[in-house]
Amino acid sequence: MNLEAIYHEAYGSYAFPLNGRELKIRLRSKKGDLKRAAVVHEDRYPYQPGAELIMTEMEKAGSTELHDYYEALLPCDSRRVKYHFYVSDGAQALWFGERGFSESKFSCHPFQYSYMTERDLFIVPEWVDSGIVYQIFPERFANGDTANDPEGVLPWGGEPQWNNFFGGDIQGIADKMDYLADLGINVIYLTPIFKSPSNHKYNTTDYYAIDPSFGDLDIVKAMVAKAHDRGIRVIFDAVFNHCGSDFFAFQDVVARGKKSPYWDWFFIEEEPVVMEPRPNYETFATYIASMPKLNTNNPEVKRYLLDVARYWIEEADIDGWRLDVSNEVDFVFWREFRDTVKSAKADALIIGEVWHNANPWLQGDQYDSVMNYLFRDAMVDFFAKQTIGVDKFDALLTQARMSYKDQANRAMFNLIDSHDTERFLTTCADREERLKLAVLFQMAYPGMPMIYYGSEIGMKGNNDPGCRGTFIWDAEGQNAEMLQWFKTCIQIRKTIPSLCDGSCRTWYMNPLGNVYGIVRGIESKQPAGVLINNSALEQRLSIPVSWTGKSSLKDLVNGATWDVKDAELNIVLKPYQGVILV
C-alpha cells in the first residue's frame, strides 16, 4: 500500500458540512491502490448516553492521473464528530488518523471536526442549481437608444477594436429580453456598466453612475425589473481591484500629491504622480496607467467599495456580483464584502474571477464560487483543440471537482469562452460539430453553464478585441441550426433534475475511440447518463448501465441507435455525437 499518497485533513475540501447535521469527507490515495476505504465515526464525546460507533463504506468519487478520491457522508446529529479511516489494498489493512497509520484503531489518533457552527456553514443560493448564465458585453449586444450613442460611433457589425464604439446599451438588453427568455437562460451577467471612457468599462470613473452611453439609473431599474418578470436574475461586474485614472480620488492625488486625503487609497512610489511613459504607482496588470490599483486595506477605500456593493443591490435590485481580478484583493476585504452583500440580499450570488485553483477563496467566507477556467481549459483541450484524450480530460475535471467543496461546485460559472478569450468556435477551427458536442456536455455537467453572447448563433472571433464583436441580429447572418441546438440542450438540462443538482461520477472511458461518459444523480429517482463520441469515427459500444434499473433508456438528444440487455447498453454513436440517456 502506498502510504505516502494517502491524504486527508479535517477541513477545507476534504471535510465540510453540507448542512448543520451532515459532514462530507474525502480521502485521497494512489490511483488503483486501494481495494477498500471505510470510515469509522462517532460523537466526539462517545461516552454520552446513546453514542454509538458507526462504520461507513466510502465510494470512489473519481480519479486523476495519480490519485483516487473517496467520499462519504457522515451523519452528525450532535454537530460534533471524530473519525478514523480503514484502508486496505487486499494484502495489507491499516487504520489512518490524524497522527498517521496504525494496525489498531485504538492506537490511532482520530481526525476531529469539532462543531458545525451555523455561522460557518457554506451556504450558496438555492437557485444556482437551476442557473443557466448568459454573459453580455453591453457595448456590443444591442443598441436600443441611438440618442445616447457616444461620439464617433461606428455602424453595427464593424470590426471590433480595443478603442472603438458601436452603441450597445442597457435599453438594447431590455429590448431583447424576450429573446433571452426564449433561449432559456435565467441569469444575465453583465460586464461593467458604470461610467468609464472605454468600451469595456473596466477602468471605472464613477461607481455610482451608469455610463451615459449605456443609459441611466431608471433604464437599469427597468431592465432588471423586466428580467425579473421573466424569471431572469441579473449579475453586475464589480471592479474593486482597481479604478480608472479619471476616478475622483486618483485625480485629486494627481493634483495634490501627498496633501490629498486620498494618497493612501493607492500604491504610489513617490510624488509627483507620473503616468507616462511608465506609471510610478501600482496598476492592474503591468504599467497600465489608466487602471491604478486600489488599496483595499485602507478603511476609507473599504467603506467606499462596500457601500457601492450594497447600493446597487438595494437601488437596482440586482442579484449579485462578479468580482474582477478578485484574487489580487485581500481576503479580509472579501469577507466583509460577503457580509455586506448577503445582508443586503440573502440569496445574492458572489462569483470571483480566478483563472487558477481558487480553493482559498471558496471556504464559505468569501465567494460563492468562481468563473470555472479550470473547466474551460479542459473543454478547450478536449473538444476544441483535441490535444488530450478521455483519460486526461476526466483527470482534469475530477481534480477540479475535488479541489472544492460541493457548494462551490454547484455554483461554478462553467464557461467555454468569454470576453477575455478566443471564441470557442474559432478555437475549434470553425468545426461546428465540436462546439455542439461541447455545449451538450457543458449543459450536463455540475455547475451553472455559462454562454458567452453570440455563441448560440455561431459567432466567431479571436482573442480581445476579436471576441467582442457586435451581436448579429439579422436572421440571415445567424446559424439557425446552432441556435436550435443551444435551445434543445438548455431545455434538456432544465427538464431533468439530476442534470441540475445530482452527483457526478465517471461512467465510461474508451481512450482508443475517444468516447467518454458521466452519470449524474445516481442517488436520484431519475439518473441521467451522458455519453459522447469525440471522434470522427463511428463507435459501436457495449457499456454497463448498472446506475439505472430500467430495461430501456430514452435518448433526449438526437436519436442514437441502441438497446439494453442484462444491464448492458449496446449503442452506435456517430462521429461527434452525444446522447443524454434517462
pLDDT at 213: 98
Section 297-320 average pLDDT: 98
Can you tell me the mean pLDDT for 362-380? 98
What is the percent of the chain with per-residue pLDDT over 70, rounded to a whole number? Answer: 96
pLDDT score at 203: 98
Q: Looking at the annotation, which residues are catalytic?
A: 324, 353
Cell reading at 581: 440517456
Per-residue CA distances from 399 to 65, 239, 364, 446 (Å):
9, 29, 20, 14
Contacts of 394 (CB under 8 A, 6+ apart): 62, 63, 506, 509, 516
pLDDT at residue 160 is higher than 80: yes
pLDDT digits (tens, 9 = 90+) for 404-437: 999 999 999 999 999 999 999 999 999 999 999 9
> Is the dihedral angle over the CA atoms 561, 563, 564, 570 positive or is it negative?
negative
Arithmetic mean of pLDDT, 443-471: 98
Question: Which segment of 372-386, 390-404, 410-424, 531-545 scores lowest on mean pLDDT?
Answer: 531-545
Biggest CA pair distance of the chain: 81
Q: Which domains does the chain have, with CATH numbers?
A: 3-120 (2.60.40.10), 132-238 (3.30.750.90), 242-293 (3.90.400.10), 499-581 (2.60.40.1180)
**Parallel, antiparallel or unpaired: strands 133-136 and 111-113:** unpaired
Confidence category of residue 552, pLDDT binned at 50, 70, 90: very low
Q: What does each C-alpha distance from 224 to 49, 96, 236 come to in angstroms?
A: 55, 53, 11
Say yes or no to pLDDT of 259 above 70: yes
pLDDT at 216 over 80: yes
Task: Give pLDDT, residue 567.
Answer: 81
Q: Give pLDDT, residue 551.
A: 43
Contact (Cβ atoms closer than 8 angstroms) between residue 139 and residue 162:
no
pLDDT reported for residue 555:
58
For residue 527, what are the contacts with CB-CB under 8 A and spacing of at least 6?
498, 502, 519, 520, 521, 547, 548, 582
Mean pLDDT of all residues in 329-338 = 98
Q: Taking all residues of the chain, what is their mean pLDDT, rounded to a whole number?
A: 95
Strand 22-30: give its sheet, edge to edge: 15-17, 22-30, 67-75, 59-63
